[in-house]
Amino acid sequence: MIHKRLLYSSTATILISLSIFFRKMALIKNVLPMTFFIQFILIAAIILNINFLIFQRKYIRKIKNIKRWEWENAFLAGFFLISAYLTSTYGLKLTTSINYSFIIKSNLIFTPILGFFFFKEVFTKEKIFLIFAFFTGIYLVTTSGQFILPHLGDLLIILAALCFSSFYTTNKKLAKTFEPEIISWGVTTCAAIFALILSFILKVNIFSLTGFLYVFLTGLTEALIILFMNKTVRITTMTYYVMMTMFVPIINLILGILFLNEIINFVQLIGGLVLIISGIMVQRLKD
C-alpha cells in the first residue's frame, strides 16, 4: 500500500511540473505576465474556496477560533506567495521552462539558511560547502559556463525561490495547528486579496480571455499544489517534501524538449545535475 506522504508529495511534484509547463504555454500565447499571474491566483483562490465552503464545511467552525497572530502569519504567507508568483512569472517569461525548473530549486538552499536565521538551526561546514556547490550549478545553468552575468530572468527566478522558501517557512508554523484545507483556503485567499488590490492599482483587466485555457489550468494546478503541499507537511517534514520536488526539473526537461522545442547544452545539463545532487545532499545533512 502506498504511504500517504509518498502519494501526496508525488502528486504535488507532478502538479508543479505541469504548472510550469502551463505557465510557459500561457506566456508563449502572449498573455501579459501581470494579468496572467493575477488571474491564476484568483482562480486558485476560487477553487480552494469552493472546496472549503462546500466539501470541507466541517472545518468552518474552526475559523472563529483563529487567533490574530495566526491571521498575521496567513497574510504574511500570502504576501510571500504572491511575491513568488510575480517574480517567477516574469522570470519564466524571460527564460525556458527547463532553465526555470532547475534554477527554482534554489529554494532547497534558501530553506536551510532561513532555518538558521529564524529557528537557530545548526549551520555546518558541510552546508556551507554545498551552498557553494549549489550556486556553482546555478551559474552553469544560467550562463552555460561562460564568464557573463546571469540574465535578468534567472535573477528573478532566484528571487522567486527565496520567496517560495519564505512561504514554506511561514506556512509550516500554521501546519502545526490547522488542517491542510484550512491553511490552503486561508493563505490563498490572503494572496488573492493582495492580487485584487494590485489589479486595482495597476488597472489590470482580470477578465481578459487571452490564453484563458492555460490560465485556468495554471490556477487549477496551483490550487492543488498548495493543498497537497500542506497535506504532505502535515504528516511529514519539509525536508521530505522538498527532496521529492527534486524530480521537477527532470519532468520539465522532458516536457520542454518534447512540446516546447527547448534545448539544453551539455554544460547546462552538468549544472542541472550539480543542482539536483547538491539539493539532495543538503537535505540529507543532519542538523
Q: What is the pLDDT of residue 47?
A: 97
Quickly list DSSP for the chain: ---HHHHHHHHHHHHHHHHHHHHHHHHHTT--HHHHHHHHHHHHHHHHHHIIIII-GGGGGGGGG--HHHHHHHHHHHHHHHHHHHHHHHHHHTS-HHHHHHHGGGHHHHHHHHHHHHH-----HHHHHHHHHHHHHHHHHHHTT-SSPPPHHHHHHHHHHHHHHHHHHHHHHHHTTS-HHHHHHHHHHHHHHHHHHHHHHHT--TT--TTHHHHHHHHHHHHHHHHHHHHHHHHS-HHHHHHHGGGHHHHHHHHHHHHS-----HHHHHHHHHHHHHHHHHHHS--
Lowest mean per-residue pLDDT among 199-213, 214-228, 248-262: 248-262
The band of 123, judged by pLDDT with boundaries at 50, 70 and 90, is low
Average pLDDT over residues 271-286: 68
Neighbours of 72 (CB within 10 A): 11
Grid coordinates standing for 67?
Answer: 487567533
The band of 285, judged by pLDDT with boundaries at 50, 70 and 90, is low
Q: What is the pLDDT of residue 171?
A: 87
pLDDT, tens digit (0-9, with 9 covering 90-100), for 4-42: 888 898 899 899 999 999 999 999 999 999 999 999 999
CB proximity list for 209: less than 8 A, separation 6 or greater: none
CB proximity list for 212: less than 8 A, separation 6 or greater: none
Burial class of residue 131 (count of CB atoms within 10 Å of its CB; 0-12, 13-18, 19+): middle
Which of 156, 158, 140, 141 shows the shortest CA–CA distance to 253? 141
Which of 44, 1, 61, 97 shows the shortest CA–CA distance to 226? 44
pLDDT, tens digit (0-9, with 9 covering 90-100), for 34-62: 999 999 999 999 999 999 999 898 888 88
Contact criterion met (CB below 8 Å) for 273 and 146: no
CB proximity list for 113: less than 8 A, separation 6 or greater: 123, 131
pLDDT, tens digit (0-9, with 9 covering 90-100), for 125-149: 776 776 677 767 767 776 666 655 6
The band of 263, judged by pLDDT with boundaries at 50, 70 and 90, is confident
Q: What is the pLDDT of residue 287?
A: 47
Q: Which residue has the higher pLDDT, 285 or 118?
A: 118
Contact criterion met (CB below 8 Å) for 209 and 201: no
Max CA-CA distance within the chain? 58
Which of 45, 27, 37 shows the shortest CA–CA distance to 204? 37
Cα separation, 117 vs 119, whole angstroms: 6
Task: Judge if pTM exceeds 0.85.
Answer: yes
The band of 187, judged by pLDDT with boundaries at 50, 70 and 90, is very high
